[in-house]
């Protein structure tokens, strides 16, 4: 079975990741602290971030697409609210894959735990925003 996916919601969820990241890592929010903890030079030319931004768009699309497909599968299995299926699926995928992998890699790399918490917090907010977008805009014919 190939799950039904609303690609418009996936595209909007992809865009939302860029908005969340822009706010989260803004200097007046967590950006200055993140840069210090991660050893990132915030004064480097903006052009040096171009490749990272392009990569982020592609991986954000992949994440939104997987979340949309997993949400539809969960919704078919458990039934109920499509929105709650999206939120619960997003939280479970975040905890089982994103947060756990960040914690593992950061522990081995000796990164500060405050950096790990900041980054997994960002990922949780990102996934929740994507889940809400996908959850309120289910594929046609599913709800």
Q: What is the pLDDT of residue 26?
A: 93
What is the model's pLDDT at position 44? 76
Say how far apart CA 92 and CA 11 lie, in whole Å: 22
pLDDT at residue 1, rounded to an integer: 64
Quick check: 1 and 136 in contact, CB under 8 A? no
Q: What is the pLDDT of residue 21?
A: 96
The list of the chain residues with pLDDT below 50 reads none
**Residues 6 or more apart from 6 whose CB is under 8 A from it?**
68, 134, 137, 138, 139, 140
For residue 47, what pLDDT is reported?
66
Q: Are 64 and 116 in contact (CB under 8 A)?
A: no
pTM: 0.92
How many CA atoms lie less than 13 Å away from 46 in the CB half-sphere? Answer: 0
């Amino acid at each position: 079975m190939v799950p039904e996916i609303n690609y418009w919601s996936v595209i909007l969820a992809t865009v939302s990741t860029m908005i969340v990241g822009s706010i989260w890592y803004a200097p007046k929010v967590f950006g200055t602290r993140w840069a210090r903890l991660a050893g990132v030079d915030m004064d480097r030319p903006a052009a040096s971030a171009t490749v990272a931004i392009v990569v982020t768009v592609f991986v954000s699309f992949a994440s939104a697409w997987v979340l949309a497909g997993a949400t539809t599968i969960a919704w078919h299995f458990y039934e109920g609210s499509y929105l709650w299926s999206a939120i619960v699926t997003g939280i479970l995928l975040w905890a089982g894959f994103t947060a756990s992998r960040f914690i593992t890699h950061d522990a081995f790399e000796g990164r500060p735990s405050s950096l790990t918490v900041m980054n997994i917090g960002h990922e949780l907010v990102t996934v929740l925003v994507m889940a809400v977008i996908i959850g309120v805009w289910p594929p046609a014919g599913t709800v």
